[in-house]
A and B are shown apart, each in its own frame.
Chain A
């Protein structure tokens, strides 16, 4: 049944004319696959993610086609979107704090979508909250459930945000720079978690980032956006090994440069300090 996500000729522009933010983008994300969407700030990568989630700000108009499981989303009304958002498409953002109510205990926040989508009540609901927290590899589940967002670390917040996104078993998870604000070791943990969850649930993943190594860590395929246009896409390893577009080549070269620096630094000292 599900054909996954199919974007065709997607153009997004601001009402006040000017250059489109996205221009004639074609992109396929078959069900269960994971796509890394790469681009620098201003490339339109977030616009694309928001268009798929139906969260384009007022004043931006989408044209073309976005189909999720054969359902057309461009031009869909708000009622249609409500059946899609959360249920089929879920989002995690760069700053998890924006997705969490600062005045509500994490357990209650997580209970809300579980209650709404699974009709759980009472003990069963509490059980589901605990399971959901455990599923995102949070220890001390009860303590986290009682905490307010500011009382847990950034990595834990992002895991809770992820648990909320997954509460309704979406078929597509959109992650917009979910690890950019995190420390490297924490980032690694969250990336591994997203990777594992996507596999376990055979969920499609649209992972938006500017870091090609991060994108490659959780994606089968990569797509590169620049100035609103899709300049290249293909299997992750192949795109990294043989970039065709000069811009992609530059991205790869930058990443490789830092990686080489790290590796070279890791050589015995006498070689480095020659």
Chain B
């Protein structure tokens, strides 16, 4: 996970080397005599200082009108949004319409793509495109559901750990580390095996396995915010821990949590495909991209599209999620934003 680039990246500013730009010297004498009060001064000169960790340059994101314009100039964000949006569109359409019914075996076996069957048919004569569409929907359900569970559970546990007494916090951190040592997949397999196979189990299994990552991240973020003077000021103001958590901690953490949500969505999609490929995922009759790939495996030489299509869809969703996360992070990063 690359999500740990904190909000205090102002120091980078000082590292950049100049592009040795020269303008006409005559130009130097012009310009208005701006003798302004110290208020609202441009922070730029201060940004030159090798910024301390608590540098003011880490200004918040609140100039909202300018945001849409910036988003357009961020290819990562746009590509990510387009890819994930494509998956979303396919999934939504599949709710109302698919070219064929999933149980419809009317087509010829292992047909090549045609106008009738855009992505061909499988060995039972079923329409691959319809399966991919429904499989995409399931993948999104699992990805979003798991990321949601991971976000809720992980953030709650991480916040609690950050407020806990030092020994309890240390203990929690160790538990997270142990959980992280287990591959998401293995954890999901164990939970799935214990609970029996259903879409809900898969979602919960992947979600819980992911929650350790979110818990670790949110604990670190929360502790960093908690160390700021404004949190102490809130304590002195008489605010309760609940109030401080919702009024100060979460608002200063959520951008990173959103980025992480996008990342864990991608991991969830991939985990679902893998589990299904191994025969441990969403059970039939639900379509699943992973199982589609597994089933197409034996006939991959005669009907390659049948295996490639679900693979491409997994790729679209996972790459889209990662690009989206990167793009969101750039958007949230004050240094990158100022540079747009």
Are chains A and B touching directly in their complex (CB below 8 angstroms)? yes
Interface size on A, residues (CB 8 A): 46
A24 close to B38 (CB less than 8 A): no
B45 close to A47 (CB less than 8 A): yes
B36-52 vs A, Cβ < 8 Å mask (1 yes, 0 no): 10100111111111101
B20 close to A75 (CB less than 8 A): yes
Min CB gap A139→B, angstroms: 28
Min CB gap B61→A, angstroms: 18
A63 to B13, alpha carbons, bound, how many Å?
21
B339 close to A94 (CB less than 8 A): no
A23 interface residue (CB < 8 Å to B): yes
A168-195 vs B, Cβ < 8 Å mask (1 yes, 0 no): 0000000011000000000000000000
B115 interface residue (CB < 8 Å to A): no
B63 interface residue (CB < 8 Å to A): no
Dominant SS at the B interface?
loop
Min CB gap A86→B, angstroms: 14
A63 close to B28 (CB less than 8 A): yes
A24 to B27, alpha carbons, bound, how many Å?
9
A20 close to B31 (CB less than 8 A): yes
Min CB gap A264→B, angstroms: 29
Min CB gap A84→B, angstroms: 13
Q: A65-B25, A98-B50 are in contact. Are A43 and B20 (CB under 8 A)?
A: no
A93 to B51, alpha carbons, bound, how many Å?
11
Min CB gap A248→B, angstroms: 14
B21 interface residue (CB < 8 Å to A): yes
A60 to B19, alpha carbons, bound, how many Å?
8
Closest to B15 in A: A57
Min CB gap B245→A, angstroms: 32
A23 close to B25 (CB less than 8 A): no
A1 interface residue (CB < 8 Å to B): no
In the complex, chain B residues whose CB is within 8 Å of the CB of A19: 31-32, 34, 42
B165 interface residue (CB < 8 Å to A): no
A63 to B27, alpha carbons, bound, how many Å?
8
A11 close to B50 (CB less than 8 A): no
Q: A14-B44, A21-B44, A63-B25 are in contact. Are A58 and B16 (CB under 8 A)?
A: yes
In the complex, chain B residues whose CB is within 8 Å of the CB of A42: 38, 41-43, 45-46
A95 to B55, alpha carbons, bound, how many Å?
13
B35 interface residue (CB < 8 Å to A): yes
In the complex, chain B residues whose CB is within 8 Å of the CB of A10: 28
Closest to A73 in B: B20
A57 to B23, alpha carbons, bound, how many Å?
16
B45 close to A9 (CB less than 8 A): no
Contact with B20, one of A77, A98, A176 (Cβ below 8 angstroms): A77
A113 interface residue (CB < 8 Å to B): no
Known: A21-B45, A61-B23, A63-B24; 12 extra A-B contacts, CB below 8 A, are: A18-B42, A19-B31, A40-B38, A42-B45, A46-B46, A55-B17, A57-B47, A59-B339, A64-B28, A76-B20, A93-B50, A229-B33
The interface of chain A, by Cβ under 8 A from chain B, is: 9-11, 14-15, 18-21, 23-24, 40-47, 50, 54-65, 74-78, 93-95, 98, 176-177, 226-227, 229
List the 7 closest pairs (A to B, CB-CB), nearest first. Answer: A75-B22, A61-B21, A98-B50, A42-B41, A58-B16, A9-B28, A11-B28
* A–B complex contacts, Cβ < 8 Å, 29 sampled: A9-B25, A9-B28, A10-B28, A14-B42, A15-B21, A19-B32, A23-B28, A23-B31, A24-B31, A43-B45, A46-B48, A47-B48, A55-B17, A56-B18, A57-B14, A57-B18, A57-B48, A60-B18, A61-B19, A63-B22, A74-B22, A76-B20, A77-B20, A78-B17, A93-B49, A94-B49, A98-B11, A227-B34, A227-B35
